[in-house]
Amino acid sequence: MKKCVFSGIRATGRLHLGNYLGAVKGFLEIQEKGDYEMVYCVVDVHSITTPYKPDELKKNKREIIIDYLAAGLDPKKSILIYQSDIPEHMELAFYFSTVETIARMMHLPTYKEKVKQYPQSNTMALLNYPILMAADILIYKAGLVPVGIDQEPHLEVAREIARKMNQTYGTDFPEPVRFATKGEYIPSLTGEGKMSKTVVNSFINLTDSLEEIRKKIRSVPTATAAGGEMSPGLKTLFTFAQLFIPSEVEGFKKSYEGRTLQFVTLKDRIAEAIYADLKPFQERRVKIAADQKYVDEVIKDGAARARKIARETVREVKEKMGLS
């Protein structure tokens, strides 16, 4: 059997340029090589562990599937699913919860942050979040998980659960590790940190129009620091220039050094180039979004293929745990 990569994405809004260049392009490369079985899962059940709006969730989770398809993920080569379509994830999470302690879950930094953010919603579901995540990954016996460093504590929990299950019940779960896809680091438009869905004014949506992109790029702060040092915002602009207009970087650098560079000229040129890069994606997206039947079919087919694997893992676990 091929090695499995499991990717989970929360259904909070759409993909942005940082996801696209940082992760999805890496996925496409893996897809081309064909060395791995890839499962892309919109983790809608994780989305309900903090306050949310049902109608927004319903809309957002479909948008992510459409974004993935428009970006080039091929549903024939990969499995695209909604977590809630595979009830075995939740079943396995319950079995896993028998080998994990409450104290351990309460000490996770991610849990503490969420409780601080939503003190009224300190629920069992939130406490169980990492256990469900372990089940997402281990149900496919995936050894590789492309996620950010912030998810390392959760992966540590998944490894712990795999070990305990294997020791106690003789299962053969792998200990999953974080996996960096070959992607670019995309800085935030604020000039600080990286582009992120949860930081306002930091990102460009994949569906932004030329006007929207221009407005956002123009708002990157470019006030020059004393002594001719490039400000963080200006460095960000040059990072974008390197990514989108590499052949023009030299010229812009020269005029910067010669103090003749008009920032707005550089900004508008970058905005134009980003838009040109996104246009084919946007055109594909419009077509895919209009074909409801196709999108439904992808989701149905993904669920059927995933369930086959998931059922088998759960069957094995139930047997080894003495439940069947």
Provide the binding-site residues for ligand TRP, judged by CB under 6 A: 6, 8, 10, 43, 46, 133, 136-137, 145, 147, 151, 154
Rounded to 5 degrees, φ, ψ at 6 are -115, 125
Provide, rounded to whole angstroms, the least separation between the CB of residue 4 and ligand TRP.
Answer: 11
Return the number of the residue (45 or 69) whose C-beta is nearest ligand TRP: 45
Tokens of 272: 């134009």
Residue 9 CB, nearest distance to ligand TRP (Å)? Answer: 7
Angstrom distance (rounded) from CA 111 to CA 121: 11
Instruction: Provide the minimum distance between the beta carbon of 185 and ligand TRP in the complex, in angstroms, as a whole number.
Output: 17
Shortest distance, position 241 Cβ to ligand TRP, whole Å: 30
In three-state secondary structure terms, 38 is: strand
As measured in angstroms, the least distance from the Cβ of 195 to ligand TRP is 15
Query: Minimal CB distance to ligand TRP: which residue?
Result: 8
What's the CA gap between 64 and 43, in Å, rounded? 11
Nearer to ligand TRP, 117 or 324 (CB): 117
**Position 72: which residue type?**
G
Identify the bridge partners of residue 36 per DSSP, sorted by sequence position.
3
Q: Which amino acid is at 302?
A: G
Q: Toward ligand TRP, which CB reaches closer, 148 or 251?
A: 148
Closer CB to ligand TRP, 177 or 286, in the complex: 177
Query: Between 181 and 224, whose beta carbon lies closer to ligand TRP?
Result: 181
**The tokens 């129009």 sit on which residue?**
209
Q: Which of 113, 183, 123 is nearest to 150 (CA)?
A: 113
